[in-house]
Structure 1
Amino acid sequence: MSQAMRSEVAESWHRSAAAGVDVGAESSPITLPEDDLVEYRAAHALAPVYPLLDDALGEAARACDALLALSDHQGQLLWVTGTTQTLRRAEAIGFVEGASWDERLAGTNAPGTSLVLDRPTMVVGAEHYRESVRPWNCAAAPIHDPITGRILGVLDVTGGPDVASPQTMAMVRTAARLAESELTRLGGPIPVPHMIDGEVFVRADVTVQCLGRREAVLTVRGKAQVLSRRHSEILALLATSPRGLAGDELALLLYEGDVPATSTLRAEMNRLRGLLGEEVIGSRPYRLLVPVAGDWNLVRALLAAGDVVAAMRHYAGPVLPHSDAPGVVALRENLHGELRATIVASDQADLMAAWTRASWGADDYEVWTAQRDLLPATSPLQPLVRSQLARLDLEFA
Structure 2
Amino acid sequence: MVSNLAGGGAGQGVEPGTQLGALESYAAQAHGYLTVGGEQLAQLPGLLRPLVLESWLRSLRGGVDPMDEVDGRGLRGADLQRYRDNHPIAAVMPLVDKLLLQDATSTGLIVVIADQFGRVLSVHGNPDRVNAAAEAGLREGNDLSERRVGTNAIGLVVRTGRAAWIHGPEHYLHRMHRITGAAAPVHDPDGRPVGVLMIAGGVRVARPEILALVKAAATAAEMDLVLTAVRSRQRGAERLAADGDSPPPAPAGRLALDVLGLGQSQLTVSGERVPLSQRHAEILLLLAEHTEGLSADHLALLLDDTDLDNGTIRAAMSRLRAVVGPQVFGSRPYRLRVPLATDVEALRAALDSGDVDTAVRLYAGPVLPRSTAPGVIDIRDELRVRLRTAVLRSGDPAVLSRWTAGAEGRDDTAAWIAYRATVDRDSALYAQIEAKIRVLDRRMGADATQMQRYDS
Q: Report TM bin, short chain.
A: 0.5 to 0.7
Q: Is the 8 A contact 1:28 1:106 kept in 2?
A: no
1:312 aligns with 2:312: no
Q: 1:183 to 1:361 in 2, by over 3 A?
A: farther
Deviation of the 1:162 alpha carbon: 1.8
Identify unmatched segments of 5+ residues in structure 1: 219-225, 241-295, 341-353, 363-383, 392-397
Q: Is the 8 A contact 1:71 1:79 kept in 2?
A: yes
Q: 1:89 to 1:356 in 2, by over 3 A?
A: farther
Alpha-carbon separation, structure 1, partners of 2:411 and 2:71: 27
SS in 2 for 1:153: strand
Tell me the residue number matched to 1:104.
Answer: 147
1:178 aligns with 2:220: yes
Q: Is the 8 A contact 2:137 2:176 kept in 1?
A: no
Deviation of the 1:303 alpha carbon: 7.7
Alpha-carbon separation, structure 2, partners of 1:55 and 1:355: 48
Deviation of the 1:168 alpha carbon: 0.6
* 1:90-111 CA-partner distances (Å, limit 9, x unpaired): 1211211101111111121100
Q: Over the residues paired in the alignment, what is the CA RMSD in angstroms? A: 4.3
1:92 aligns with 2:135: yes
Matching residue's letter, 2:379: A
Q: Is the 8 A contact 1:65 1:160 kept in 2?
A: no
* 1:163-209 CA-partner distances (Å, limit 9, x unpaired): 111111000000000110000001179935153333699899xx977
Matched length: 275
Tell me the residue number matched to 1:197.
Answer: 298
Q: Is the 8 A contact 2:181 2:205 kept in 1?
A: yes
Deviation of the 1:152 alpha carbon: 1.1
SS in 2 for 1:156: strand
Q: Is the 8 A contact 1:29 1:100 kept in 2?
A: no
1:388 to 443, 451, 456: 443
Kindly indicate which of the two structures has a greater share of residues assigned to helix: 2
Identify unmatched segments of 5+ residues in structure 2: 1-23, 27-46, 231-289, 304-335, 418-438, 447-456
Deviation of the 1:320 alpha carbon: 9.4
Matching residue's letter, 2:141: G
Q: Is the 8 A contact 1:28 1:100 kept in 2?
A: no
1:64 aligns with 2:107: yes
* 1:74-121 CA-partner distances (Å, limit 9, x unpaired): 110001111111111112112111011111111211001111111010
Structure-1-length-normalised TM-score = 0.58
Q: 1:120 to 1:355 in 2, by over 3 A?
A: farther
1:166 aligns with 2:211: no
1:217 aligns with 2:287: no
Q: Is the 8 A contact 2:411 2:440 kept in 1?
A: no
Alpha-carbon separation, structure 1, partners of 2:67 and 2:367: 37
SS in 2 for 1:317: helix
Structure-2-length-normalised TM-score = 0.51
Deviation of the 1:46 alpha carbon: 0.7
2:84 to 20, 41, 48: 41
Alpha-carbon separation, structure 2, partners of 1:389 and 1:185: 48
Tell me the residue number matched to 2:172.
Answer: 129
Q: 1:360 to 1:303 in 2, by over 3 A?
A: farther
Deviation of the 1:63 alpha carbon: 2.0
